[in-house]
Chains A and B, each alone.
Chain A
Amino acid sequence: MSKKTLVIGGGIAGITAAQKIAQNGGDVILIEKEDALGGNFAKLTYTFPVLGDAKALVSQEVQKVQTTPSIEILTNTTLTACQGSVGDFSVELKTLSGTRQEIVGAIIVAAGFHYMEPTAYTEYSYGRSPKVVTSLEFEKMAAENRLPQGNVRVVFVHCVGSRDKAKGYVYCSKICCSYSAKHAIMMKKANPQSKSYVFYIDIRALGKGYEEFIRSAMEEHNVRYIRGRVAKVLESEGKLLVRAEDSLMGNPVEVEADLVVLASAMEPPVGSRDLAAMLGIATDEYGFFQDVESNVRPCHSSKPGIFLAGSCTQPMEIASAVAMGGLSASEALAVTR
């Protein structure tokens, strides 16, 4: 029986799981398919509901795992095969320098999520106009100080790909309401002259301090919240015309905007079904990894010895991903000792 645990994914959930296992005396192999740790968290500028420095927070956590001798970090590495059962999984890892075989006692899947590319949303002119960007691109613009300057109007569009049976997913991506409020505040802070408009269907602020955070966007930062899903974004003479209904008034409205930010859905990580098939575990109808029981055993996959953590199970905010990382670590420790 092996005492090692394989953690798949070097985002915040995987990093936390690896840390907790190491802190309790276990050995970890942490694999990450990209060339650096940090996952989606590392792509952000600020956290919410408290505007913390995301890059500083994540590098602090990355440093912790990098300086822990019992955690072996393999970047640019993917899992290519997995056999065996709890306590004795034989896995094949493909690294830049070739493949290697390992025997591990438990596996934690923390493969993260993917921001949906809203290419199907042609009504929003995404891909046609450079002034229509996704939230992820907005984060990058903010990090590089490229947010529009001067007297500009910025429109934030909720539920792009979420709550949409026709072109996206039926589920709610949970965090878009909060991060769009964060973006609107970031916009106001970067350019106090700008005007921000957030188009929403329902505001879902399910977390400590979230409601207060979104209210602060409205009350302190004068972000205009308009209830209605944006119908169309048209290009007109270098501007964007955003059409929607103000559904609380029952009236169609048009905003002449300079930048449109699409809060694209959180979708399962690319290749999640292939990974699940390789591991022999179940996914849900969307491709998220399926837990056996969502209330009391949220991190148990359908196969003993393989545990789940973070947003590869469902749309999730950072705090929950960290909590789930810790929980899966304790489950892994329980089967490897």
Chain B
Amino acid sequence: MPRLDKVAQIPKPDKIFVFKSCVASNKYPGIEACSSDSLRILGIEPVDSDEQTCCGGFVTFANVAAPTASMPAVARNLSLAEEKGLDTCVVCNGCWTFLNEFGHFMNHNAEVKASVNMMLNMMGKEYKGTGSVYHIAEMYYRLKEELAENVKRPLKGIKVATHYGCHYLGGGKYTAIDDAQMPSYLEEIIEILGGEVVPYTANRECCGTGFTQVINGKDLSLEHTKTKLDSVKEADPDILVVQCPYCHSQLDRIQQQFNYRDEGDFQTPILHIAQLVGMGLGLDVAKLGFAAHVSGRARLENVLDRIGR
């Protein structure tokens, strides 16, 4: 069950700084397009900056960057929103947990913060620690009344399964808006959009990227992804909705790899929550960016046929 006290603390600002994700921009542009457009429809003006870089989480937890390198990088990105007096909205679990964890760490370690600011001052920037970081799924849940009012393309009869992703619920066990083991806010959003929720056994299992394992421990990564996909296939949803572009990429692309190598027949379309909301809010089909999806393309077309283009 969502922690309603936490949800109530999320503001409904006029503007929010939208922090872009690498995977969303370069692999699944529909997520980037839908996140800004959906927020605008729900009454929040997205603010962008071309100075924002990748959050740096990947290079950090790939152990290429030590904390001494990643702290200033995090602080730099957060300061871009602070300069504008805004909170940050992210679309990726990785960005969320990384910016949150390291931001929190700096806020509670004055020495680290001071040394980070020494570096930022050289670029004319400063990290104060005044802004908060929210996941776009949290924002949607906070804005559920607005969401309900604006549904233009109800997902009637569409079976949707959820995958929350580890770095939001697991890594944020005290900061996320829902219980780490039995979450339900995505399900609520799906119901608001008119969809039908499908449960499956491996819901809370990792997608299997294993962070860097998909690159240098592929046997481990694929083994795990297969158990996840098998369980999804059993429940047979029309759409599997995720809230992390990295999970999105793994679940979407690995299905195709298994299919090509005769390791199974997986045809489940994976959608980011921003795309699902964009679909429900009636965004133009081109905005949803389905052309970038590799698995379940036929089924996705069928879904669009059923709910209207």
Contacts and interface: CB of A to CB of B under 8 A. Distances in A.
Do the two chains belong together in a single complex? yes
Interface of A: 122-123, 125, 128, 232, 234-237, 241
A123 B181 contact: yes
Interface string B168-204: 0000000000011110000000000000000001101
B231 to A, nearest CB: 8
Contacts of A125: 182
A122 B181 CA distance: 6
Contact of A236 (B179, B180, B181, B201): B201
Query: Interface extent on B, as a size class?
Result: under 10
A232 B206 CA distance: 14
7 contacts: A122-B179, A123-B181, A232-B181, A234-B201, A234-B202, A235-B201, A237-B201
Nearest to A166: B173
A123 B202 CA distance: 12
Contacts of B202: 234
B201 A122 contact: no
A238 to B, nearest CB: 11
Contacts of A234: 201-202
Contacts of A241: 201
Interface in B192-239: 201-202, 204
Nearest to B173: A166
A123 B201 CA distance: 13
Which 4 pairs from chain A and chain B are nearest by CB? A122-B182, A122-B181, A123-B181, A236-B201
B182 A128 contact: yes
A241 B205 CA distance: 13
Contacts of B180: 122-123
A258 B204 CA distance: 21
Contacts of B201: 234-237, 241
A257 to B, nearest CB: 14
B245 to A, nearest CB: 26
Contacts of A235: 201
A235 B201 CA distance: 6
A239 B180 CA distance: 22
* B179, B181, B201, B204, most chain A CB atoms within 10 A: B181
Nearest to A124: B181
Given A122-B181, A232-B181, A234-B201, 7 more contacts: A122-B179, A122-B182, A123-B181, A123-B182, A234-B202, A235-B201, A237-B201
Interface in B146-181: 179-181
Contacts of B181: 122-123, 232
Nearest to B205: A234
Nearest to B179: A122
A123 B182 CA distance: 7
A236 B202 CA distance: 9
Nearest to B200: A236
Contacts of B182: 122-123, 125, 128
A234 B200 CA distance: 10
Nearest to A233: B181
Contacts of B179: 122
A50 to B, nearest CB: 39
A241 B204 CA distance: 13
A284 to B, nearest CB: 25
Contacts of A122: 179-182
A9 to B, nearest CB: 34
